[in-house]
Amino acid sequence: MSTFSLAVEAAIAETRRDVAELHGELVRNNLIVWTGGNVSGRVPGADLFVIKPSGVSYDDLAPENMILCDLDGDVIPGTEGSDRSPSSDTAAHAYVYRHMPTVGGVVHTHSTFATAWAARGEEIPCVITAMADEFGGPIPVGPFAIIGDDSIGRGIVETLAGHRSRAVLMQNHGPFTIGVSARDAVKAAVMVEDVARTVHLAREAGPLIPIPQEAIDRLFDRYQNVYGQSEDERR
């Protein structure tokens, strides 16, 4: 017997569909291997989110095997998918949702170039306009944190709170991204890997040229408020 209103049930079903589909974007953009990485989405109008099951092949992910959790990261018993264990990073995603109320989606990958920067504990400097547009400056590094409790989530929040970047490189681990929706967080995961690769290759060939802060501010403002269409979700 459902304990949610019809409206919440509809929102849960839509979030399941979105999150299941968005895992395919991690594969299509070569951001993960095997069962690594994960995507979650907040359920609009409810203190709930949906996340993938742990260690399940991306080929087998579907709306009905996504896992519904409360904002403490506890699986809602008796709901679709609740017979399986949720992602290893469920506690981290839940921590972000509890402490960043405007975040609608969280993504984690081990994408190659971004994870290489994380292995060095080095932030990605803002030396290309694409970074100014999408991240509003450098992409910061979060602390080394062992999976399994709130430490990763706390590291994400403490690093990104008040920061323009929607991506954080968790030291020795890899990128976590946030967004106003799960799709927005997936876009940030795609873009952080793209800029990590570009800046890595640029630095291999010679010294990087910083972009003046005033230009970064103008580029970020334009991209957030002018680029695209007025109905875009980030507006």
Ligand X SMILES: O=C(CO)[C@@H](O)[C@@H](O)COP(=O)(O)O
Active site residues: 133, 227
Instruction: Answer for the pair 108, 163: CB distance below 8 angstroms, yes or no.
Output: no
Instruction: Give dist(CA 180, CA 43) in Å, integer.
Output: 12
- The amino acid sitting at 234 is R
Tokens linked to 81: 């998918």
CA distances from 121 to 54, 155, 174, 177, 198 (A): 27, 13, 10, 17, 18
Nearer to ligand X, 170 or 195 (CB): 170
Residue 195 C-beta: closest distance to ligand X, Å: 21
Residue 32 C-beta: closest distance to ligand X, Å: 8
Task: Tokens 């190659």: give the residue.
Answer: 112
Instruction: Give dist(CA 155, CA 152) in Å, integer.
Output: 5
Nearer to ligand X, 87 or 111 (CB): 87
The three-state secondary structure class of 22 is helix
Instruction: Answer for the pair 199, 127: CB distance below 8 angstroms, yes or no.
Output: yes
Residue 179 C-beta: closest distance to ligand X, Å: 18
Nearer to ligand X, 52 or 166 (CB): 52
Residue 57 C-beta: closest distance to ligand X, Å: 10
Nearer to ligand X, 90 or 165 (CB): 90
Task: Tokens 């509890």: give the residue.
Answer: 98
Residue 34 C-beta: closest distance to ligand X, Å: 8
Give the number of other CB atoms < 10 A from CB of residue 31.
24
Instruction: Give dist(CA 225, CA 59) in Å, integer.
Output: 37
Nearer to ligand X, 43 or 91 (CB): 91
Residues in touch with ligand X (CB under 6 A): 35-38, 52, 54-55, 87-89, 108, 147
The single-letter DSSP state of residue 128 is S
